[in-house]
Amino acid sequence: MAWILYAARLLFLSTERLAFNRLGERRPALPAALVAYLGAAVGLFLAALASGGPLVDARALPGVLVYSVSFTLYFWALAVGPLSVVGPWPAATALMLWLWHPHGGVLALGGVLSIIAGGLVLGGPGAGQASTGIAIMLASDAALAVGRELDRQRAMGPPLAYAFTLFAGVAVLMGLLVTATGGLRTGFALARERPLWAALAAASNGSAYLTLVGLLRHWAPYLVEALSSAAGLITVGVGIFLLREGDGPRKAAGAGLLSLGSAILVLVEAPH
């Protein structure tokens, strides 16, 4: 069951990153993120209602503020793009989780160096606007590492109720901020202009998080994040072949090193 969830997670994560990039392209990040996350919250609510289970899980509430920061930065980074450069960087979350309790000696050092090397190759000279997207994504990764630890400790109840409560809280905070900054009309306009990308962003986003909650019942958050880094390789392929972003060999090498480094750190963590 865990490996089926993992395959679904890779599919949903890759779809989510493409949809976020297309939805937020050349648009203010916060109103665009609200469209995606509010849509995901609505979808999760309907799924929880249809399941006949509980709708709310208060254990998700402590993570709302952390995930509001991480999700907003994540969307913003992908919207800045380019997708094939920024998309693989969530792999750095595995490194940040490892830093909570570093161990593993030479093998772990190899994993860390592989991640660093992958980052240098992927975001090397000439990265241009990608440097901004990478910096924003790294900030998102740091917040995400905290959120994953909260999930590990608290996501014990029905997955739909936990996911809906979390996303509803995130959408409320985003909505308040968007309203306060005068961006609500921009968000509504974007949903009308790009309805297919908005719907795809919402569906893949909510589904990707559900696979995470499911996997945390089988694997440690460290392992889930490290294996999820393989979605970066798919994201590079989407950016190169679908969006025609070019420079495929260098980007594939960088994403490969990032994923390899995460995999090495998984081997270090597994016995613990």
Any idea where the domains of the chain sit in the sequence?
2-269
CB atoms within 10 A of CB 59: 18
Q: Is the pLDDT of residue 126 over 60?
A: no
Q: Tell me: the pLDDT tens digits for 231-260?
A: 888 999 999 999 988 888 989 999 999 989
What is the model's pLDDT at position 92?
A: 87
Cα 82 to Cα 250: distance, rounded to the nearest angstrom: 14
DSSP-based three-state secondary structure for 40: helix
Cα–chain center distance at 106: 29
Under a CB-based contact definition with an 8 Å cutoff, are residues 91 and 259 in contact? yes
Q: Tell me: the pLDDT tens digits for 153-196?
A: 888 888 999 999 999 999 999 999 999 999 999 999 999 999 99
Length of the chain: 272
pTM of the model: 0.91
Token pair in block for residue 233? 């390789």
